[in-house]
Structure 1
Amino acid sequence: MAEASLQAIIHACLADYAADHPLSPRQWQVCHHLRDCRTAALGGFALECDGCGDRPLLYHACRDRHCPRCQQRASAAWCDRQRAAVLPVTYHHLVFTLPASLNGWVEIHPEVIYGLLFETAWATLSTFGADPKRLDGQLGMTAMLHTWGQTLVRHVHLHCLVPGGALGSDGTWHPAKSTYLFPVRALSRHFRGGFVGRLRRAREDGKLSRIQDDAQVDRILETLMATDWVVYSKPCLARTDTVVDYLGRYSHRIALSDRRLLDFHGASVQLSYKDYRDGDRRKVMTLTAEELLRRFLLHVLPKGFMRVRHFGFLANRCRARRLAAIRTALSAPPPEACVPETPAARFDGYPCPKCRTGKLQVRAHLAPTEHAEGGRTPLRTL
């Protein structure tokens, strides 16, 4: 039985999978990053314990945002920044979901479809928030793109965290008038119309150039308008931190954690998943290794695509100024200042896992193996 990890599956099965399934350059890049993560291929450090004298090797991480082993510190830092911006109001968790009939277009034009999803969700919420009969002001929104379901099939949706109120043009705070923020059915219809209209304009502007059949385009757009789109909305009446932490788990990673891979037998993989249609029960499904790779690669994002975005008074260019004005309007105290640690106070050596009392100090740098002569990793002593 092989190690149950995405890296082990890539090592064992990528060559066979690529022989039958053409990979894009971006997918190849991500697979190679994950395959080499924390291995001699990326180089690292030779360490020595000042207590027991043990000499382990520490290899560099790939830091790819698709890697299930990387970015834990970056994710925690992101959550800390979001919590520092939390206002003393009820927050609302909204989810805008694209119909499965668009999955084919997502396959060939992911950057366009994902971008329109962000644009339309914000246009929908900001229109409702600016309505004088509703909140009559500017909303704030933090949105994060998810492209997967629990079983790793393509399920494109946008998680949004929205403070329950709007900032008026006169600097006053207009609180939400109910616990559901806006009517979900009205949001769904506005979102559907806005997205289909933007798809049609994108088609006319040549942004969907890989879709050649005009009749198919018209047919799909008509089908989309005849379908009820799913918009979910729920107030965070207990703790907003729980939603921030939920989003934070995927702010710097994608789709799959190694904890969900239970067994890997070379040809098959056992995947743990939560069945939301059966009372959130935890279940196990068996997939071939090639099928798991195929499902994982569905969620590789275009290079440079920003999957976490802030809008309205939470936009980066005006966040500090607008949040201060809102706290003044709410008579709320400013957040506690976070004093960053100095490098000297933050690091004095790695704890030794062997003796648990000494510290591991760097004694040499390890060059990446692809630059080594004779297949051996050269040392550069400090």
Structure 2
Amino acid sequence: MNDKGQLIINRVILDTCYSAIGGGMLFNISHTVELVISNYSYFGACTASGNGAGVYITTSNVANKVLIKDNVKFDICNCPGGSGGGAYIDAKNSQSVILDQVLFSQCNAQTSGGGLFLEIGENTTSKIINYCSFANCKITNGIGGGIYASINGPNSNILISDSILFDTCTSSAEGGALYFQYNYAGTIILDRVSFKDCKGSSGGAIYAQIIIPGSKLSILNQTTFGQCNSTVGNGGAIYTEVKGTGSEIQISNSINIDNCNTPITADGGGAMYLKVQDNGSAILDSVTINKCSSKEGGGIWVQIEAGCSFKMTNRSSIRGSVITTGNGGNIHAVINGADAKFELSNDINIDDCQITPGVGGGGYFL
């Protein structure tokens, strides 16, 4: 579409559709066009041999807007040779991408984003809000079982918020539910999100490399992780690398990680695996980790390099962790170099941890 205005898809059903790209629909929009897909529109059993089995969207103008809302559903959509099983959205030139009450069920892709593939560019805001769900979405030979999202320009942000559910999402590689790629400094916020039974090779729920200086990942406000597992590598629920001045991961305000695990083939981090380098920082505030297990660091495995910091504070707790062969029942910390800071403060509870058979540090190992 190459003119000003609004393109509206309202209460449309597409069932058993096929194309090389955009199995259900394909949109190339430019100028000041807003695309709206809404009101119980349904994409069922759509297939694309390439990208975007349900819908394929590209934008080419910084004024473009994409809005998918009001119980739109992508159901049993499949990209056997590409990315974006439900939806593929290339919004590197766009003002905003908003998904509001959108359902992805049993969507599969080969390479990236079993449910959703999303790329945003400079000054772009993306929101995935209000009871969006990703259930039984899968990547067969790649990353991001639920969502693959990348920031490809400065001053951009992604918000995933308000009762969002990832249930039984899996990937053959990293990020069972979510894979985040920072190619420019940007901010990603998860607020009131639930992860259940998600699996990836590393980062059973979330895999994020926060390696561009000034980038931030915040996991906030009653976000929960239950029974998420890494199948090969580290981080049963969360795997992150934080690198560069001003780069930060913040996990805060009643976060609960329960019964998450890594295999004995991995270094560790039953709940989370953190690498903090080049003046990066990690903050855990009011986080509860319960009954997680791994080879080392049943709750947390963290490496802190020179000039970096790790802080766990404000009634955070780790309970009932189990490690199988290594050190640090609840926390395994590796601290390298000058001015590296490791802090536990303000009513931290480390309780009921086991080393079976283990070497040392039932509570934590430094």
TM-score by length of 2: 0.20
Q: Which has the higher contact order (CA 8 A, sep 6+)?
A: 1
Higher share of residues assigned helix = 1
Please tell me whether Structure 1 or Structure 2 has the larger radius of gyration of its CA atoms.
Answer: 1
